[in-house]
Chain A
Amino acid sequence: SQQGEEDPQALSIQEGENATMNCSYKTSINNLQWYRQNSGRGLVHLILIRSNEREKHSGRLRVTLDTSKKSSSLLITASRAADTASYFCATDALAGNKLTFGGGTRVLVKP
């Protein structure tokens, strides 16, 4: 079963615009990670935010985490055509490295 849901399921924007997607989860977590996947290929790790962190930046990416609402958001600023991909959030709650994924957001960036 999937831990959470991502919203929206799909997003279409123009190059240069910002893209925001949200992830909600159900149980307490240790960390939340965001991944990108291009056309059914492997997952590329984007960023990890720990449960005691509220915001994290990496390049054009900004991630927030609200543990009281059990939700996270990923913002991609100044999007590029190369950002076209599916984006997944993943949480780990148990000991070990078992990740539970959301359903993903498909992002299309039009040139």
Chain B
Amino acid sequence: KAGVTQTPRYLIKTRGQQVTLSCSPISGHRSVSWYQQTPGQGLQFLFEYFSETQRNKGNFPGRFSGRQFSNSRSEMNVSTLELGDSALYLCASAPLGGNTEAFFGQGTRLTVV
């Protein structure tokens, strides 16, 4: 099976712009979660989607949003980018609603200048 695929791998944006990141989960997986990793804050949970519904949400401002499509692919959007949004954004997929291994993609490295 193909693993979790995130696109693009690298992205450079300017402050104030918006960005959309994409995640294709492992075939058959219905849960997709997003995480932000920075040197200062470590790995932090953004949100989780299961069967097109947001099920859990982390403590991030409303500028961060996401969605999941009927084929389980997910996108996350960050509007009005700030320098502090520079981070590695990781997507994880899991087959079920919980209590299972979560598998991560290679991440999207976002740099805001």
Contacts and interface: CB of A to CB of B under 8 A. Distances in A.
A92 B99 contact: yes
B33 A99 contact: yes
Q: For chain B, what secondary structure do more than half of its interface residues adopt (helix, strand, loop), or is it mixed?
A: strand
Given A95-B98, A96-B50, A97-B98, A42 B55 contact: no
Nearest to A46: B101
B107 A42 contact: yes
A101 B58 CA distance: 13
A41 B107 contact: yes
B93 to A, nearest CB: 9
A45 B56 contact: no
B43 interface: yes
Nearest to A95: B98
B57 to A, nearest CB: 9
Contacts of B37: 40
A42 B43 CA distance: 12
B31 A97 contact: yes
Contacts of A33: 101-102
A2 B42 contact: yes
Given A35-B104, A42-B104, A97-B48, 18 more contacts: A2-B44, A40-B88, A43-B92, A43-B104, A44-B104, A48-B100, A90-B102, A94-B98, A96-B48, A96-B98, A97-B33, A97-B92, A97-B98, A98-B33, A99-B33, A99-B35, A100-B45, A103-B42
Interface of A: 1-2, 30-31, 33, 35, 40-45, 48, 50, 88, 90, 92, 94-104
